[in-house]
Structure 1
Amino acid sequence: MIAEKNLIVNSDKENLLAELDKSLNECVSFYFSVAFVNFSGIQLLLDSLKAAEERGVKGKIITSTYLNFTDAKALERLAAFRNIELKVFITDKEMGFHTKAYIFEYDDYFKIIIGSSNITQSALKSNVEWNVQVIAKEEAQFVRKVMYEYQNLWAHATTATTAFIRHYEDFLKSLKRDRPAVYAIYENNEYILPNRMQREAIENLTRLRNYGAKRALVIAATGTGKTYMAAFHVKNDRPRRLLFVVHREEIVRKAKETFQKLLPNTHYTFGLLTGTSKEVEADYIFATVQTLSQWMHHFQPDHFDYIVLDEAHHATSPSYQKVLDYFTPAFMLGMTATPERCDHGNVFEVFDHNIALEVRLHDALAEDLIIPFHYFGITDVDTIDLSTIEIDNIAEITKRLKVNERVDFIIEKMRFYGHDGDKRKCLGFCASIEHALYMAEQFNARGLPSLCLSGGHSVKERNEAIVRLENEEDPLQFIFTVDIFNEGVDIPSVNLVLMLRPTNSPVVFIQQLGRGLRRHETKTFLTVLDFIGNHNKAFLVAMALNGNRYYDKKSLKVAIVTKFANVPGCTHIVMDRIAQERILEQIDAENFHSMKYLREAYTEFKKLNGGHTPYYLVDYLKYDGAPDPLSFVSREKSYLHFVAKVEKEEQLKRYLSDVRLEGALKELSSMLPIKRIHEFVIAHYLLSHEQISLQVAQQEIEKYVKHSDHDTIVHAMECLNQNYYDSGQKKVKPKLFSLQSGVLRKTPLFKELVENPIYSTYIEDIIQYGMFRYEKIFKEKPYGIPHLKRYEQYQMADAALLSNYRKTHSSFRGSGLLTNGKEYFLYIDLHKEEHVKESLQYKDTFLDERHFQWQSVNNTTQQSERGQNIIHNEARGVHLHLFIRKYSKLDGKTEPFIYIGKGNTIAYEGEKPITVTLELEYEVPTSLYNEFILPV
C-alpha cells in the first residue's frame, strides 16, 4: 500500500537538490538510475555523498552513455567514493537509456523519486522539471516492481572501472576534436532579440530621450551584453552618424562586428578609426580614444548624432574629457561595469545623473546573463587563530596564514570539490603580497604550477600571465594575487576562485567573485572555495552573498539558514556547520546600529574610495555591496553630520554651524528613502529654476515614471509646502518651498542655500541619491493611489503620504488599523513585545503563504461600520492593505513594516476583537515568508 505521494518541482519554494540532500543524510542505502550525469550536478551533491560515506551508507548508481552527454569527470568523481558502486549502461542506435530514478531505503520504508531530472545543476535546481515522490513499505507492489527493474538494469550495465572511464574520456575527446561545431546554433541576424535587461535599458533610454535628456549611463556587470544593448537602441533610434569610443583596439573591432550583425542590409557604412585604420568617411565610426583625440578636429563638433562611450568610468580622464569637450552630439550613451573605477571626479555627473539601467551581480544572475557559481564556505584549519587580530592588521594576519598545514588543507578541499572544464584556471585572493608569494611557492613545491602577481608587476607581465592561464596547453593553473584583479580585468575562462583571506569588505568580495562569472565555452559554472576563519568579521561574507543592499539582522540570519535560497538560478551557496554557526553567533552579537559598527563600515568603505573621504551619498551607488549610507543618516540625521562626526573635520563643522544648511540637510534627509519620486523631482528642478507649475512638474516627473495623476502632483506640492506638518514640526523644520496659486516657488532661505556653490552640492547630493535609489527599486512603474509596491519597506506615516491623505501625516501612527477613506491600512507585529498586556497580544499569524489570520482592535464589533467594512470589504469596495513586521524593534531601533499587498476577508468569527481570515491577492514569496516564520 502506498503511504504518501508528492510532486517535486524546481521553484523558489523547493527543488530536487534539497530533497536529494535531505534523503542522502537520512537513508540507510540508496540506488540511482539516471541517463545523464555531469560534474555541474555531482559537485552540488558532494557534501551529502561524503556525509553518507562517513556514515557507512552504501549506494549504487547507474548512468549511461546515451547521446554521450554524461561526462567522464563526473564518473571519475563518483568512482572515488568508497561507498558507491558505479555502473554505466552502454547504449547503441537501437536502444536508448532515459531513466531518472532516485531510490532511498530506510529502516522500514522506501522513498522513490521518478521523474524528469538528470544529475545536472540545471535539472537539480532551476529547469522546469516534474519528479514524483512515492513513500511506501518494502512489501508494496510498486516498490517491488521498481527494485526488480533496477536490479535488471544493474545486471546489464558495465562496471565503471578506471580503464573504462579513461577509454570513455578519450572517446569524448575524439568526438570534440572531430566535430567541434556539433553544438553550434544557427542564428538569423534579423531575428536576434534583446534580452530582458537590454529591453529595459532601451525603454528607459527612449523615455529619457523623449523628455530631452542629452546623456545617460548604463551600469551592467561584465558579460551582460552592453554592446548588444547599445546596438539595439541605435537600431531603434537610427542616428545618421554614430561614434563608438573605447580605449582598446580589440574591443573596437568586436563592437563594429556586433553593430554590423544587428544592422544588416542598411545603407549605413561602418569604419574603424584606430592606429592602423582611418576610415573616417564611414557613417558609423568605431574609434579608440587615443586615435580619436588626435583626429577629432577632422570632424565638426556636431558631426555625430549619437556617441557611445564604452568603459565610461574613464570619462573623467583627460583623454576622454578632451573628446567630450569637443563633440556636441544629440545624445551620448555611457556604458560601464565598474562606475567605481572613475579616474577622477564623478562619472554620474558626466552623464547628467541619468541612469538608464543598473544591473549588478544578483540582477545578472537572475537574468542568466552570467554563469552561476557554486560557493562552498569551509571552516579554516583550527590551528589558525584570527579572533584576537584587528581585520586591518595585515602583517599579523599574513604571519598566521603562512602555515603548511593550511596549504595542504586548501589543496585537499580543492581536489575534493574540483572545477568545471578540463584545465584548472584559478585565481587565489590573498591577504598580502607576502602571502601571495608564499602560496605560489608552496603550490609549486607540491607540483601545482603557480605564480604571484601584484601591483608591482608591469601591465605586460600581467597580460602574459593571463594569456598563459587561459591557454589550455600551458601548464600554469594558479595566479595568486591581492587586489589587482578585483575589477576591470577580463579573464573569461577562470573556473576556480580561492578566497584565502579574511573578508573585510562585501564590495571587495563581490569584485573578486565577479572575476570568474564571465561566460566562456570551457565552463558552465564557477567553483568558489572560501576558507572562513574565526576572525570577528566573518559575517561580512554573508552580507556579500545575500545580495540585498538593504538588510537587517533577521533577514541575514534567514538567508544563512536557508542556504541563501533567495539567490536565483543554479547558483549554489552552502557553508559547513561550524562556519554557519560561527557567523550566526557573530550576527547575534553585532549591533548594526551602533556607532562602533557604523564607524567601521564607513572606514572600510573609505579605503575602497582610495582613502578619500566619501562626502556624498551618491558615492555609495558606485559599488556593488557598499554599505547602506542611510544607516549613517539615521544615526546623525544627515549624512554630512555623520561624516563630520567621524572625520572630526573642522571645515565640515563650520558648514554645519550654519543653522540654515543644517536644517535643510536634516529636512531633506528625513524624507529618505523616498517612496514617491514626485517631491524630489520637483525639488531637483527648483535647484536651477525659481518656480515650477503643475504642468512643468508633470513633464519633469514623467521623465522618471510612465504616468503621474494630477492629484498626486498637487499633493506632492502641498507636502513640500508643509501643509501636512503638525504645529510642532512647523516650529522646528525650515520652510524651503512655498505654494501659491498652483505654483511652487523657492523660499528666500532655499534660494540663499542653493546660490552657495558648496551648500548646493550637499543639498543636490541628497536629492540625487533619493532619486537614484527610488529608480533602482521602483523603476518607472506607476503604482496608482495608494502608491505602494509589494514587499517594500514602509513606516506607518508613509501610507498617509502615498494615499494623498489631506490631514496631518504624523497622526498616522499608534494603531494597528489606520484609514483614509476606503483604504484600510493594517499594521501587524508578528511578535509582540514582552511588556505588552495580554489583552493586546493579538493572534496575528500566517496560515500559509496565501492566507493570514488577523484580529481587529479589541473594541471592534461585527455590527459597527468599521467591523462591517472589514468583514465585507470586497462587497463594500474597501481595500485592506497588509503591512507586517516580525519585531517592532531590533537592537533598539524601530523596524519598518513590509507591505505584502491587499487581502480580502474570506472568514470571520467573534468580536471585540473580530478574528478574520484574509486571502492575499498574491502569494508571499518563499524567501520573505521564511523571514516571517522561521524562528531565527
Structure 2
Amino acid sequence: MIDKRLITNNNTGNLLKEIAQSIQECERFYFSVAFINFSGLQLLLDPLKQANKRGIKGKIITSTYLNFTDTKSLEKINIFENIDLKVFVTDEREIGFHTKAYIFEYKDFYKIIIGSSNITQSALKSNVEWNVEIISKHNDEFVKQVLKEYDSIWEQSTVADVEFIKRYEELLESIEHIVTTKQQFVAEKGSYIVPNNMQRRAIENLERLRSFGENKALVIAATGTGKTYMSAFDVKKVKPKRLLFLVHREEILRKAKETYEALLPNENLTFGLLTGTNKDTVADYLFANINTMSKSYLAFDPTTFDYIVYDEAHHATSPSYQKVMDHFKPSFTLGMTATPERADNENVFDLFDNNVGLEVRLHEALEEELVIPFHYFGVTDIDSIDLSDVDIDDVAEITKRLKLNERIDFIIENMEFYGHDSEKRKCIGFCASREHATYMAEEFNKRGYYSIALDGNDSSEKRNTFISRLEDDNDPLTVIFTVDIFNEGVDIPSINTVLMLRPTNSPIVFIQQLGRGLRKHPLKNFLTVLDFIGNHSKTFLIALALNGNRYYDKESIKVAISTGFANIPGNTHVQLDEISQERILAQIDQENFYSMKYLKEEYFEFKKMNSGRAPLYLMDYIKFDGSPDPVKFIENAKTYLGFVAKVEKDDQLKLLLFNEGFEGVLKELSSMLPLKRVYEFVILRYLLTHHEISLERAQHEIQKEIEYVDDDSVLHAFQCLNQDFYDSVQINNRPKLCMHEKHILKRSDLFQRLITENEQMRKFIEDVIHYGIFRYRKEFQNKYYGVPFLKLYEQYKMVDTAILSNFRKIHSSFRGQGLLANGSEFFLFIDLHKEEDIKDSIKYNDKFIDQKYFHWETQNNTKQSSDRGKDIIFNQERGINLHLFVRKYKNIEKSKTEPFIYIGKGNTVDYEGEQPIQVTIELEQEIPARLYTEFTEKV
C-alpha cells in the first residue's frame, strides 16, 4: 500500500518542517537537489547535528547547475561526519540538473518527497512549491526505481572534497568579476522604479487626507522600510514647485537627495543642500540640516515651500524644529518616523494634526518584504550561569555572572556552527552593561575575533569610525559589543549577525535590537540572530516579542511556540531549543497576564523605556513596537489615569480624578476601547473644537478615516452618543457627552465644561479619543465593512454586534451566549471548550470539521418546525445571514473573559435531530490555516 500527500508552504506547515522532522526520525537519508545555498542549509543545521549525534548516516547530491550552489554550504555540510557529499558537475556535460528529491529510510518503509523545492530558505518556507510525499514498503517497485536512479546519479557525481570546493570557488569568483551592475541606468530611468505595497498604501492615504482638506500627516514605519522613497513618490504625484526636506542627521541628507534625484530625473528640477558648508538656497528641492535651517529660516519667506518633509519627525517637538515649523506655511507637511516618541511632554501626533498616513511595524514589514527575514536561534545558555535567583534589573550582579570564559567559548562555538550570510561576519553583540561589553570585546580579541566595545559615552565620531570599519569588507573588525546604543536610530545596513547576550527584560528592546540587522543590503539575504537564553524569571518575554501581537493570551502564545511561530510571515525562521521551549512554556503557565503584580511590572518596565517619566497618556504606548497593551490597564482600573494614579501613588492625579464628572467622562470613553467602529470617536474629535456637528458634517469627518459610511450608521452613532440605547442603570451611572436634536449633535454641558475650563482635563480626554482612533486605524485601516460592520478574524464581544448592526433597542440585551438576532442578522457565539464546572449544563458539540465546515448545535429547545429552526436550517432561502463568532475557551486567565473571533458568514448545508438541531455550516470564507491551528491545536 502506498500513502501519498501534497506538501506545500503555508501557515500550518512547510517543507522545512517535514524534512527536519524526518531527518530526526529516520535511519538513513538521501538528498538530491539542484541547488543548495546557505540561507536554506542554516535552517537544517540543528536536525543534521542531531542526526550526527544519533549516528544516522546520510548522502547528499547537489550540482553546479547555473553555479547557484554556494561553497559555504558545501564546506558546512562537510563538517558532519555522518554525511557523504557529492556534486553533479554540469558544465562538463552541458546538461541541466533539476532533481529535488528527499529520501528517508525507515525500518519497514521509505518516505520519498519529490517536487519543486531546492535547499534555499524560500523553497523550504515560503515559495509556492509542490512536493509530493510517498510512503511505501522497501520492496515496492517505485522505491526500487527511485533508489536505482539515485545510485546512478551518485556514481556520476564528484566527491566534494577540499580540492573540489577550492576549484569551484575560483570559478565562482571569476564569474563575479565578469558580472557588473549598472546602477546608473536605473537612476536615469525614474519611471522604472515603482512603489512597493507599503508606499502605495501611504500615498493613497495621504491623497485621501488632502482631498478632505487636511494639510499635515505623519507616516510611521520601521527603519529600512523605504520611507524616503515613499515621500519621493508622493512628491512626484503632488508636483510641488518648491520642496524642503529636513533631517536631524547630516549623513541621511545626501542619501535623501540622491533618492529624489533618482526618482525625479527628467522633471527639470534643481536639487540642493543647505548645510554648514553647502548653501544651495535657490534650489527647487532643498535638503537641509535642521541645525543649519534653525539658524537661517528667517531668510526664507514663510510661503517659499509648497511641501515640507520632516524626516525623523519624533525630533520635531524640540525647540529648533518648532521655530522652523512655526515659520513656514506650506500647502502640505509630511512627517516620517520609526518611533513617534513624546519629548518633553509634547506629542508628535499633535504636530501633524493627529493624521497618520500609515503605520508599519516589524511584522508588517516582514510580511510586505520591506526588510530581510531573520533566522532566530534560541540557544539555552551554559549550566554554569545561574540567573534564577537574581533580579533582572540588577545589572551589576547579572554582569558578574555572565563574565565566564566558558561562556565565551560557547558563544563562539555556536556563532561558528550557525554561520552567517555573505563573506565577512558583521556582528552587533548586545550586552548587559558597559563592563560586560568591554569584557566581551577583550575575550573575543584574545580568541582572534577582532572586536570593539562602544557605548553612549563614546563620541559620535568614534562610533561612526567603527561602524564604517565594520561595514568595510576589507577591514578585520567583525564584532561591535554595545549596551546602550544601536537599539534604534543607527543605520548599519550590512549587519548580518546579532548576538543577544543579556537577559531579555523588555519586548521593546528585543525588537529594537533585532531590527538593527533587518535593513536590506545587496550582500545579504537574511539575518542570523543568536539568543543565549538563561534561566531567569522573564524568559517568556522572548515569546511575547517574537509573537508580534500586542493583544495576546496564554493560549495563542503557547500555540505559536509549539508551531515554531508559524504566524511570522515569509522566510523568517524561529527555533527555540527544547530546554528553552519547556522553560518558556512553564513560565507562561505560571504567569497571570492580568494580575496586578504582572501589570505593575509591565507598566514600570515601559516607564523605563519612557526615559523614566510616568507615561501619563495612552498615546505614549504608540511609540514603540512591542509596547504593552494599555487597555489591560484600563480593564484593571476603569480608566488608564486611574491605573497610573494607583501604581504611582500619585496624589495629584487622584485629586484630579476626585472630580466625578471628569472621571465619569474618562470611564465612558475608556469603556468603548478598543474601538470596533470609529464613527463615535471621530464625531467626538470634531466636538473637541466645535460646539455642534450635523449629520452631513459627521459623514464628511468620518470619511477622512474610512472610504465610505452609510447615512443610517451615522445617525445610529448620533443616537449612541445620545445614550438612546442605554438601560436605566447605565443612564444613571454614566455621564452624557452629547445631546441629539433634529439631526444635530451638541456637546453636553459637562463635556463643554471639562474641555474648555480645565486644560489638563482636556488633554487627558483628547488623549483617549486620539488613542482610540489611532488604534482603530491600525486594526481596521480605512475599509468600509458594511452593516453589520464586521471585519473577518477580528475580536468582538457580544455587545459589539449590537452597535455594529445598528441595533435600535437596549444594547445591554446583547449578552449571554448562543444565538442573538437583529432582524435577518443572526449572530452565533460559540465556545469550543465548555466550562467543565457548570453543573447540569448542556455540553454542545460545537467544533471545526475542517477549515471550510463547522458543526454547530442550536440551543437545546430549538425544534426544526419552529420559525427559529427554519431560519437556521433554510437560512439562504429565508434571507437570514448566519454570522459565526468563535472562541477556544471562555476564560484562559483568572477573571479574564476572552472575546470571540469573527470567522465570517456561513450557510447551512446539512442538519439532523432537534432540541438541539445539529447543523453543518459551510463558511463563506475558508478560515486561514494559522487561525485554524490556534483553534484546534492542543498545547
Q: Which runs of 5+ in 2 are unaligned?
A: none
Query: 1:380 maps to which residue?
Result: 381
Query: 1:785 maps to which residue?
Result: 787
* C-alpha distance in structure 1 between counterparts of 2:503 and 2:70, whole Å: 35
Q: After the TM superposition, which of the residue ranges 825-834 and 884-893 deviates more from structure 2?
A: 884-893
Query: 2:857 maps to which residue?
Result: 855
Query: 2:822 maps to which residue?
Result: 820
- TM-fit CA distance, 1:167: 2.6
- TM-fit CA distance, 1:552: 0.8
* C-alpha distance in structure 2 between counterparts of 1:363 and 1:752, whole Å: 42
Determine if contact 1:15/1:125 at 8 Å carries over to the other structure. yes
* C-alpha distance in structure 2 between counterparts of 1:667 and 1:747, whole Å: 14
Question: For residues 793-812 of structure 1, what are the structure 2 equivalents within 5 Å?
Answer: 793-812=795-814
Distance of aligned partners of 1:498 and 1:199 in 2 relative to their CA distance in 1, 3 Å threshold: same
* C-alpha distance in structure 1 between counterparts of 2:887 and 2:736, whole Å: 34
Determine if contact 2:186/2:192 at 8 Å carries over to the other structure. no
- TM-fit CA distance, 1:771: 0.3
Query: 2:334 maps to which residue?
Result: 333
Query: 1:510 maps to which residue?
Result: 511
* C-alpha distance in structure 2 between counterparts of 1:309 and 1:472, whole Å: 33
Determine if contact 1:317/1:344 at 8 Å carries over to the other structure. no
* C-alpha distance in structure 2 between counterparts of 1:185 and 1:574, whole Å: 41
Letter in 1 for 2:478: Q
Determine if contact 2:312/2:337 at 8 Å carries over to the other structure. yes
Determine if contact 2:408/2:443 at 8 Å carries over to the other structure. yes
Query: 1:111 maps to which residue?
Result: 111
Secondary structure, aligned partner of 1:893: coil
Query: For residues 454-500 of structure 1, what are the alpha-carbon distances to aligned partners after superposition, in whole Å with 9 as ceiling and x for unaligned?
Result: 11111111111111111111111111111211000011111111111
Query: 2:67 maps to which residue?
Result: 68
Secondary structure, aligned partner of 2:44: helix
Query: 1:912 maps to which residue?
Result: 915
Secondary structure, aligned partner of 2:329: coil
Q: Over aligned residue pairs, what C-alpha RMSD do you find?
A: 1.5
Determine if contact 1:28/1:105 at 8 Å carries over to the other structure. yes
Secondary structure, aligned partner of 1:110: strand
Query: 2:844 maps to which residue?
Result: 842
Determine if contact 1:430/1:501 at 8 Å carries over to the other structure. yes
Query: 2:759 maps to which residue?
Result: 757
* C-alpha distance in structure 1 between counterparts of 2:336 and 2:186, whole Å: 29
Determine if contact 2:10/2:929 at 8 Å carries over to the other structure. no
* C-alpha distance in structure 2 between counterparts of 1:323 and 1:696, whole Å: 33
* C-alpha distance in structure 1 between counterparts of 2:135 and 2:34, whole Å: 23
Determine if contact 1:314/1:343 at 8 Å carries over to the other structure. no
Distance of aligned partners of 1:174 and 1:94 in 2 relative to their CA distance in 1, 3 Å threshold: closer
- TM-fit CA distance, 1:262: 2.2
Distance of aligned partners of 1:408 and 1:312 in 2 relative to their CA distance in 1, 3 Å threshold: same
Query: 2:930 maps to which residue?
Result: 927
Question: For residues 216-255 of structure 1, what are the structure 2 equivalents within 5 Å?
Answer: 216-255=217-256
Query: 1:130 maps to which residue?
Result: 130
Query: 2:16 maps to which residue?
Result: 17
Question: For residues 596-615 of structure 1, what are the structure 2 equivalents within 5 Å?
Answer: 596-615=597-616
- TM-fit CA distance, 1:260: 2.6
Q: How many correspondences in the alignment?
A: 935
Query: 2:427 maps to which residue?
Result: 426
Query: 1:775 maps to which residue?
Result: 777
Query: 1:466 maps to which residue?
Result: 467
Determine if contact 2:13/2:566 at 8 Å carries over to the other structure. no
Query: 1:896 maps to which residue?
Result: 899
Question: For residues 252-651 of structure 1, what are the structure 2 equivalents within 5 Å?
Answer: 252-340=253-341, 342=343, 345-651=346-652
* C-alpha distance in structure 2 between counterparts of 1:751 and 1:343, whole Å: 28
* C-alpha distance in structure 1 between counterparts of 2:319 and 2:345, whole Å: 9
Question: For residues 684-723 of structure 1, what are the structure 2 equivalents within 5 Å?
Answer: 684-723=685-724
Query: For residues 116-135 of structure 1, what are the alpha-carbon distances to aligned partners after superposition, in whole Å with 9 as ceiling and x for unaligned?
Result: 11111011111121212222
Determine if contact 2:224/2:370 at 8 Å carries over to the other structure. yes
* C-alpha distance in structure 2 between counterparts of 1:250 and 1:408, whole Å: 37
- TM-fit CA distance, 1:90: 1.1
Distance of aligned partners of 1:186 and 1:205 in 2 relative to their CA distance in 1, 3 Å threshold: closer
* C-alpha distance in structure 1 between counterparts of 2:344 and 2:362, whole Å: 22
Secondary structure, aligned partner of 2:55: coil
Secondary structure, aligned partner of 1:133: strand
Letter in 2 for 1:155: E
Distance of aligned partners of 1:300 and 1:428 in 2 relative to their CA distance in 1, 3 Å threshold: same
Q: After the TM superposition, which of the residue ranges 835-844 and 890-899 deviates more from structure 2?
A: 835-844
Secondary structure, aligned partner of 1:848: coil
TM normalised by structure 2 equals 0.98
- TM-fit CA distance, 1:320: 1.5
Secondary structure, aligned partner of 1:886: strand
* C-alpha distance in structure 2 between counterparts of 1:160 and 1:917, whole Å: 58
Determine if contact 2:853/2:920 at 8 Å carries over to the other structure. yes
Secondary structure, aligned partner of 1:563: coil
* C-alpha distance in structure 2 between counterparts of 1:169 and 1:323, whole Å: 56
* C-alpha distance in structure 2 between counterparts of 1:361 and 1:757, whole Å: 36
Secondary structure, aligned partner of 2:5: strand
Determine if contact 1:901/1:921 at 8 Å carries over to the other structure. yes
TM normalised by structure 1 equals 0.98
Secondary structure, aligned partner of 2:879: coil
* C-alpha distance in structure 2 between counterparts of 1:185 and 1:571, whole Å: 32
Determine if contact 1:313/1:343 at 8 Å carries over to the other structure. no
Query: 2:198 maps to which residue?
Result: 197
Q: After the TM superposition, which of the residue ranges 58-67 and 159-168 deviates more from structure 2?
A: 159-168
Q: Does 1:832 align with 2:831?
A: no
Secondary structure, aligned partner of 2:803: helix
Secondary structure, aligned partner of 1:767: helix
* C-alpha distance in structure 2 between counterparts of 1:137 and 1:49, whole Å: 25
Query: 1:84 maps to which residue?
Result: 83
Query: 1:166 maps to which residue?
Result: 166
Query: 2:664 maps to which residue?
Result: 663
- TM-fit CA distance, 1:849: 1.0
Letter in 2 for 1:62: I
Q: After the TM superposition, which of the residue ranges 562-571 and 684-693 deviates more from structure 2?
A: 684-693
- TM-fit CA distance, 1:720: 0.5
- TM-fit CA distance, 1:382: 1.5
* C-alpha distance in structure 1 between counterparts of 2:180 and 2:357, whole Å: 40
Q: Which runs of 5+ in 1 are unaligned?
A: none
Query: 2:98 maps to which residue?
Result: 98
- TM-fit CA distance, 1:928: 1.3
Query: For residues 735-778 of structure 1, what are the alpha-carbon distances to aligned partners after superposition, in whole Å with 9 as ceiling and x for unaligned?
Result: 12111111111111111111110100000100000000000000
Letter in 2 for 1:590: E
Determine if contact 1:316/1:344 at 8 Å carries over to the other structure. no
- TM-fit CA distance, 1:580: 0.3
- TM-fit CA distance, 1:651: 0.7
Determine if contact 1:194/1:232 at 8 Å carries over to the other structure. yes
Secondary structure, aligned partner of 1:765: helix
* C-alpha distance in structure 1 between counterparts of 2:659 and 2:636, whole Å: 20
- TM-fit CA distance, 1:182: 9.3
* C-alpha distance in structure 1 between counterparts of 2:165 and 2:182, whole Å: 22
Q: After the TM superposition, which of the residue ranges 556-565 and 305-314 deviates more from structure 2?
A: 305-314
Letter in 2 for 1:6: R
Sequence identity of aligned pairs in percent? 63
* C-alpha distance in structure 2 between counterparts of 1:257 and 1:838, whole Å: 73
* C-alpha distance in structure 1 between counterparts of 2:342 and 2:634, whole Å: 25
Letter in 1 for 2:928: P
Determine if contact 2:342/2:620 at 8 Å carries over to the other structure. no
Query: For residues 379-406 of structure 1, what are the alpha-carbon distances to aligned partners after superposition, in whole Å with 9 as ceiling and x for unaligned?
Result: 1111211111111111111111111111
Query: For residues 576-624 of structure 1, what are the alpha-carbon distances to aligned partners after superposition, in whole Å with 9 as ceiling and x for unaligned?
Result: 1110011001000000000000000000000000000100000000100
Q: After the TM superposition, which of the residue ranges 140-149 and 488-497 deviates more from structure 2?
A: 140-149
Secondary structure, aligned partner of 1:21: helix
Q: Does 1:682 align with 2:683?
A: yes
- TM-fit CA distance, 1:344: 6.5
